[in-house]
Chain A
């Protein structure tokens, strides 16, 4: 009897996603060396894919691995791209053929959650009304217009002030990014704000004070405002809806033409770091969230009332949710390694565009 061929084991591990880097490397060398083994490998993987298809058809579940819409994001885009087709109509119909008049607020929110997950990208206009306590420290962004694109739990934001605009957001590693121009991107690590604030207060302030100079801009103020802007403007729809379903009392309110108003207020004894109260307007026909009025908290205190109003539905490139998606291929990205020398003035310019006031004031 022939001993088992170790290459088969490598192939199996590779196909199952359990191969180590070393095994992958050995497998790669074996594939290079032997055309017959390559043929077996390709056959094996073809079979693997076909088994996935067969199993999906047996269960009658959505075919995650088989359709051209295997994961949520692509599926979203496809669903929308074929919005005029029967498929989407049937999908939305199935999800939203809801007796809104009698459905409970929780049922409506769960449906809104499903529809958000199964829909294309949506764009909301963002309007911020700062709470009185913050108004003393921070001017409201009056001259700029901010729009937020969202897909699933991701978002990116576009702020326009006059002729200028900036795309910005935070990625899955919670890094804050912004692109003031296609050739310049800036990235901040999540821990940098706090770190830099402390540094700015101690080192930089002393440095300039010792020389009787005014700092070129206020680092601490910059980071305060960056953190605040991120907190206020971002919207993670899925997380928000889950939080509302778990920790908030929900009740219907009268008043929305063609829609249903749902008021969400923290349950007694529950806390939430970001939201105190939320008003949602759900479209009666589509089940889509048309408007959200979010009472935000910052450091546990009321910070602002932020209104998100649906203005557009369309398909955005996956890359639009990343810094790279807003930059030219040859763009320079200034990150932690670049220090603050380059990023400081860019951050100041970004915040000026956002808040309409100079951080050197």
Chain B
């Protein structure tokens, strides 16, 4: 493991910080929930930190990090081999391959999302921000807002699909599609 005063320490932080959104998105695409993604990301971040000494300078950091993340996702999945709410190895590997290939596009999509969020009606934007705020439980939030959790999920889904369409249009317009 790197000591904090190791000269590579700063390099690691720089590389990790630059690639963390892509890495998180990659992990998120392979596990069922945001909370699962958080759990896996903990492990990924720790392993990257510990094994940064093995990372060959010049190698693309994102590729190396994605490799570690894929391994961690598969390990996480195998720990839940009997959980029928989790995908199997084969589809996980297939999704990992495709998420890896589309990482640049996803990065652009995240940029586009900022623009598209700004275009959302205020009420919908508030709903998204409230529902996605750290630590929010959907059932609590639903109770507070006088709706059922199911109704809220449906609303959020419609907003996500609208945002998805908006990001696609933006990417097309910017020549990034």
Chain A residues proximal to chain B, CB less than 8 Å? 8-9, 12-21, 24-25, 28, 31-32, 38-39, 41-56, 58-59, 61-71, 73-75, 77-78, 81-85, 318
Contacts and interface: CB of A to CB of B under 8 A. Distances in A.
11 contacts: A24-B87, A31-B94, A41-B95, A54-B113, A56-B134, A61-B135, A65-B37, A67-B20, A68-B20, A71-B42, A74-B43
Contacts of A64: 38, 134-135
Contact of A84 (B4, B32, B128, B135): B4
Interface string B92-124: 001100110010001001100110010000000
A271 B95 CA distance: 55
A220 to B, nearest CB: 36
Contacts of A68: 16, 20, 41-42, 44-45
B151 interface: no
Given A53-B21, A85-B4, A17 B32 contact: yes
Given A24-B86, A42-B102, A48 B133 contact: no
Given A21-B84, A24-B86, A42 B135 contact: no
Contacts of A52: 34, 132
Given A68-B45, A81-B49, A12 B134 contact: no
Nearest to A40: B164
A28 B28 contact: no
Contacts of B161: 8
Contacts of A25: 84
B5 A84 contact: yes
A75 B4 CA distance: 16
A32 B93 CA distance: 11
B33 A17 contact: yes
A51 B113 contact: yes
B45 A46 contact: no
Contacts of B37: 49, 65
For A13, A25, A31, A43, the residue with the greatest tally of chain B CB atoms inside 10 Å of its CB is: A43
Nearest to A13: B153
Contacts of B176: none
A220 B164 CA distance: 65
Given A54-B114, A74-B42, A15 B33 contact: yes
B109 to A, nearest CB: 6
Contacts of B45: 68-69, 74, 78
Contacts of B21: 50, 53
Nearest to B20: A68
Interface string B20-50: 1100110011001111011101111110010
A75 B161 CA distance: 32
Indicate the member of B29, B128, B167 with the most A CB atoms within 10 Å: B29
Contacts of B74: none
